[in-house]
Amino acid sequence: MTSPAAFAALRAQLAALTTEAFRPELADIDRLPTLDIARLMNADDATVATAVAARLPAIAAAIDATAERMARGGRLVYAGAGTAGRLGVLDASECPPTFATDPGRVVGLIAGGPEALVTAVEGAEDRADAAGADLAALGITPDDTVVGVSASGRTPYAVGAVTSARRAGALTIGLSCNAGSELGAAAEHAVEVVVGPELITGSTRLKAGTAQKLVLNMLSTITMIRLGKTYGNLMVDLRASNDKLRARSRHIVALATGAGDAEIEAALAETGGEVKDAILVLLGGVDGATAGRLLEAAGGHLRVALEGARREG
């Protein structure tokens, strides 16, 4: 149980946060027509991309550092509570089907465990020690990157995750929506996207949540581009696990090579359905086995493998 003095200090801390500020001009929002509320909310959301743009240099530096470690075999780990934690788990869960990454390469940790994805686990976000235990269970190494995600920038679980990861020698990133945050101070890379007060005071799943989603999208996607998971802007490392993705894989091979359907089907059959290998077969004039060998030698980078195929040819 928090002492009265500690609770008073917490109230004062929250009152000073930009994300918690009250907007008196919206005090009668509940009396407005629905369309007017929607317009206000849409206008509010339109400011988020500008706030993210202001932090692009910090975001890019964090991405480069992350990609360098992941190229050595490291993992990308998100840690947060509530909405922030759910956003991290969402981003992590989308990497395997999009980039054919092993599920263990990008991991989302949420305070309170998997149950907290659908049900609030009271008090879990206040457990900095739980974050340390969750990271210890993963066996964090200096090649890993740990991203603490917290709209306020003070959530003990997120701060605890970054603090524990830094002690283990991992790269640390603090993503928050308040300047001068405790989370930013604890991390090597502070990404503080200041979106301002919310439409509904205290509901940081709104602009703050949108900003965090945009940054997490950048962090994972651009890191994967740096790791050779795309060819130009084509998603060539997708895992075709359903009919939609199988159709998409053929579309991508066609866009990359200009080949006809029969050639595409033959190349995919020869490479076991691997899009990147099939493109190399068609553009490099090699067989499936050679395509696999060249890609492995190139660390999965298709452009590099194509240069190797042309040298061999």
Question: CA 90, CA 46: separation in Å to the nearest integer?
Answer: 23
- At residue 239, the pLDDT reads 76
For helices 275-284 and 288-297, what crossing angle results, to 10°?
Answer: 110
- At residue 18, the pLDDT reads 82
Count the Cβ atoms, other than its own, within 10 Å of residue 311. Answer: 8
- At residue 256, the pLDDT reads 97
Query: Which domains, from first to last, does the chain contain?
Result: 11-226 (3.40.50.10490), 243-312 (1.10.8.1080)
- At residue 240, the pLDDT reads 81
Q: Using DSSP, state whether 266 is helix, strand or coil.
A: helix
Interacting residues of 204 by C-beta distance below 8 A, sequence separation 6+: 19, 83, 151, 152, 177, 198
Active site residues: 94, 125
Contact (Cβ atoms closer than 8 angstroms) between residue 302 and residue 277: no
Q: What is the pLDDT along the chain (313 residues), one digit of tens a residue?
A: 567 877 677 676 766 778 888 898 999 999 999 999 999 999 999 999 999 999 999 999 999 999 999 999 999 999 999 999 999 999 999 999 899 999 999 999 999 999 999 888 878 888 999 999 999 999 999 999 999 999 999 999 999 999 999 999 999 999 999 999 999 999 999 999 999 999 999 889 999 999 999 999 999 999 999 999 999 999 999 878 889 989 999 999 999 999 999 999 999 999 999 999 999 999 999 999 999 999 999 999 999 999 988 888 6
Q: Is the pTM of this model over 0.85?
A: yes
Tokens 């949540």 found at: 209
